[in-house]
Structure 1
Amino acid sequence: MARKKKNIVIENLTIEAVAAEGKSLARQDGQVIFIEKTVPGDVVDVQIRKKRKAYSEGYPLKFHKYSDLRIDPICEHFGVCGGCKWQNLAYDSQLAFKQQQVEDHLTRIGKVELPELSPIIGSVKTERYRNKLEFTFSNKKWLTKEQIDSEEVIERNALGFHVPRLFDKIVDIETCHLMADPANAIKNEIRSFALANDYSFFDIREQHGLLRILMIRYTDAGELMVLVQFFEEEQERIDLLMNHIKDKFPEITSLLYVINQKKNDTIYDQDIITFSGKDHIIEKMGDLQFKIGPKSFYQTNSQQAKILYDKTIAFADFKGDELVYDLYTGTGTIANYCAGQVKKVVGIEYVEEAIQDAFVNAEVNGITNTDFFAGDMKDLLNDAFISEHGQPDVIITDPPRAGMHENVVNMILKVAPKKVVYVSCNPATQARDISLMDEQYSVTKVQPVDMFPHTHHVECVILLELRG
């Protein structure tokens, strides 16, 4: 017989601080409780959802007092869409909590001696700052309890973002405040056309439906990319929609589509079809131009990206004669950006198409002292590679959220460059990696940078210098 779950409710709990993944935390009898949809200063009754020996997780049942740190969120979808969990928190408070998050991770996970952290650099824009968004088509629109109980016939097709913890439910987004116009107009027009012409929206459980993902990218240079991902191969209906988009939005400079029939929606191994315009867009950073394809990684907050890379170069303090390795180079943005200040840059990246773009970016900008290689970092960065391409004086590393593979950390320790500049979007894995390097490297500078307002995410640039 299954054990019945206890219905545990804790009353009048004061929220003390922010925690990971956009949650807040409180304590009762020495145990930490992680609570969603709250901010420090709230006083709430909490329904416990999950109880463990070391901690519990819950959600608010009733608010007795709202925190003075709260503000009114600007988005009508706040609280359901999982994209901007801190939109109800004043921006100054967001920055303070992100600063504390970096310090806590480096102290508790890294357990290394730290200099005083530089104050976090806030985002130039706090709305419409993203240059890329992906919206999901679904035939399982998320409904409110009132809609479920209603006898009305409700349209179940949706185009928007996933509901947290519900992989098959999509919030139908009318206006997203993360991206500048005409992103919302494009999204809404495509949805209207699809509904009017009885296009099928994707069913992620049953794996059928024509429309799957809509990606929109734009650049500060004024170029606009739209990529529609289809699941089923209905060419006549595909052409009809793509022509409609082309005619309705002539400002689109790169109109693409892909037919992806895999179980997941990644497109790195898929053939992208250029329907109209170019197969890429161009972004400017400083005096340089960067080619961005549909598979390319590029920082999603363009203005903050320049600040981030300027800080990276400042930490490296180049003298002009260095050999630099840029690990996880992407489209070669950092490598090409710093090339004019060093002897040579060697960039390594897993995605082959990104490396092709990196070469193009070097050529477009007349840069001749960069070289790029595609392959799995943990396999490619080895003794033979170092022997062939030289001993780096400085390593810049900007890994994905999972951080660096242990083999990569060990290779950096073996090569022992004078400086390592570690750029990370996840202070927890950054702290873990730095702890593995502590015997040989000391942390001498730490600079948090906010790339994603209204979220708990924070970038951090750290300078590590060889001891002795």
Structure 2
Amino acid sequence: MSRNRKAGTVTILPNLSIIDIAEEGKGVAKSDELVVFVEKAVPGDVVDVRIVKKKKNFAEAVIETLHTGSDLRTDPFCQHFGTCGGCKWQHMQYDAQLTFKQKSVEAALQRLAKIDTSAMEPILGSAENKYYRNKLEYTFSNKRWLNQQDMGDSENLEMNALGFHVPLRFDKILDIQHCYLQAEPSNTLRNQVRNYALRKGLTFYDLRNHEGNLRNLIIRTSSTGEVMVVVVFAYIEQEQVDEMMAYLQTEFPEVTSLQYIINQKKNDTIFDQEIITWSGRDYIFEEMNGLKFKIGAKSFYQTNSLQAHELYKITKEFAGLTGDELVYDLYTGAGTIANFVAGSVKQVVGIEYVPTAIEDAKFNAELNGIENTLFYAGDMKDILTGTFIAEHGKPDVVITDPPRAGMHADVVARLLEMEAEKIVYVSCNAATQARDLALLKEKYDVVRIKPVDMFPHTQHVENVVLLKLHVD
């Protein structure tokens, strides 16, 4: 039995062996009857940990001393590792990341849905595990996150920052020098925008007091080489806006869509904001499988373009399409999956909550000469009614790709009533997927399971499940 060493109010647990990874990405150890979740720990580590939060049966801790490093460890590649909330697993070898993602999906399906996962297929890793994102959103702040070194040089401190929120600190922004998530010109653009703002004396947004000139910077790129930049201003003179946009247009001629927003709300969402195009189009094009997709500033599109193609190929394969099916695509977003499978079916009916996404879906269908898709905007549980199904026909296949919260109980109930022969359920949250699968088991069997890694160096994982209607 290990002994706790206390220094003041600090509790140290010595020589803990990290035995697993929890769903939220922390290492797992056991001390007596206590389960300990350890930040930045890797299975195979032997560590002393400092308790930062304790409950009855579990505690959260950080590493105080690393006695033995796991064979699964590797050197982090980013200078911001440990402070930034992204890429939290970059200190773990990529093959090991895939192993633990597979285990996390398996555990969720077994524990929450009581599903036999013996036929679960190996996870599909991402061919690119750096610079794989096609969209990043940065935040301006006049309250930069300070590390120990910064605090030692407080007299010459630059408090303005352009970067990412520090986890659990809504008002503190980590000033990013180089990010490994998005390829160039992303890093150069961000750094040049920051430098321009500092030279011109533009004020960075105060997240507590809601004042300042500059609020957000959104950069989208595509596999076609196109680039979109959206600058979000707050309280600023139009002349200053014009000067910055002219600067970006001159310095970055490769930007094919240059836009801006004036957002003076108290939240950062842009879906209710007017977007003004400064130069180029108000969208960029993405290509996949010979299809073109229009991507606007508000568009929904998988952030890992290359891996999205693999995900959709698996979805289509699971559906087993023969050319004569009626397919319902639930939570269709910009119609990417619907248009992807349209050439292999008789008709696709897509439903999505966000009206602007449905407009994109219709545009994308027309752009690609696809004539067998229908798209509807509205709340899924309100649209997917008996009357709707009677009008459009009972689907042979349902493809559903809901948000992290999963499907509304009314939608699951409607699926059980419809009794489509097959359901292909794509999810970014194995726990909520398992909850829905437990309900669908009333009439469906899970016959195939395939995890897909869309987000390397994080604990997040997509999962594709094929369900077939019980045979009487």
- Classify the TM-score, shorter chain: over 0.9
Residue of structure 2 in register with 1:380 after alignment: 383
Give 2:275's match in structure 1, choosing from 261, 264, 272.
272
Unaligned runs of 5+ in 2: 1-7
* Residue of structure 2 aligned with 1:160, choices 158, 163, 171: 163
Is 1:28 matched with 2:31? yes
* Counterpart for residue 66 of structure 2: 63
CA distance in 1, matches of 2:56, 2:11: 15
SS at match of 1:412: helix
Match of 1:307 among 281, 296, 310: 310
Which AA in structure 2 matches 1:116? Answer: A
Q: How many angstroms does 1:148 deviate by?
A: 1.7
Q: Output one character per residue of 1:120-171: Cα deviation in whole Å (capped at 9) or x when no partner.
A: 1110101111111111111111111232243432000001111111111111
Instruction: Name the CA distance, whole Å, in 2 between partners of 1:109 and 1:32.
Output: 20
In structure 2, the residue matched to 1:99 is 102
RMSD: 1.2
Identify which of 131, 137, 140 aligns with 1:137. 140
The partner residue of 1:13 within 11, 16, 19 is: 16
Where does residue 4 of structure 2 map in the other structure? none
Whether 1:340 aligns to 2:343 is yes
Amino acid of the residue matched to residue 407 of structure 2? M
Of all paired residues, the percent bearing the same amino acid is 57
Alignment match, 2:52: 49
Which 4+ runs in 1 deviate beyond 4 A? none
Task: Determine the C-alpha separation between the residues in 2 that align with 1:229 and 1:150.
Answer: 31
For residues 168-219 of structure 1, what are the alpha-carbon distances to aligned partners after superposition, in whole Å with 9 as ceiling and x for unaligned?
1111111111111111010000000000111111111111111111110111
Shift of 1:108: 1.0
Aligned residue type for 1:292: I
TM-score, normalised to structure 2's length?
A: 0.96
* 1:448 is the counterpart of 2:451: yes
Code of the aligned partner of 2:269: T
| Counterpart position of 1:210 | 213
- For 1:124, which of 124, 127, 141 is the aligned residue? 127
Distance in 1 (alpha carbons) for counterparts of 2:25 and 2:216: 25
Q: Answer with 107-116 or 84-93: which moved more.
A: 107-116
Q: Deviations over 1:101-133 (max 9, x none)?
A: 110111111212334111111101011111111
Q: Is the 8 A contact 1:115 1:443 kept in 2?
A: no
2:161, 2:154 → 1: CA distance? 19
The one-letter code sitting in structure 2 at the alignment partner of 1:130 is R
Please give the TM-score of this superposition, normalised by the length of structure 1: 0.97
Counterpart in 1 of 2:181? 178
Alignment partner, residue 410 of structure 2? 407
Paired residue for 2:243?
240
Residue type of the alignment partner of 1:319: T
The amino acid that maps onto 2:148 is: K
**CA displacement at 1:6 relative to structure 2:** 5.2
Secondary structure (helix, strand or coil) at the match of 1:8 reads strand
Say if 1:113 and 1:442, in contact at 8 Å, map to a contact too: no
Match in the other structure for 1:77: 80
1:254 to 254, 257, 265: 257
Counterpart CA distance in 1 for 2:70 and 2:61 is 18
Residue-pair matches, total: 464
Deviations along 1:19-59, one digit per CA (max 9) or x if unpaired, are: 12221111122332111111111111222222222322121
User: What is the alpha-carbon distance in structure 2 between the residues aligned to residue 55 and residue 419 of structure 1?
Assistant: 41
SS in 2 for 1:152: helix
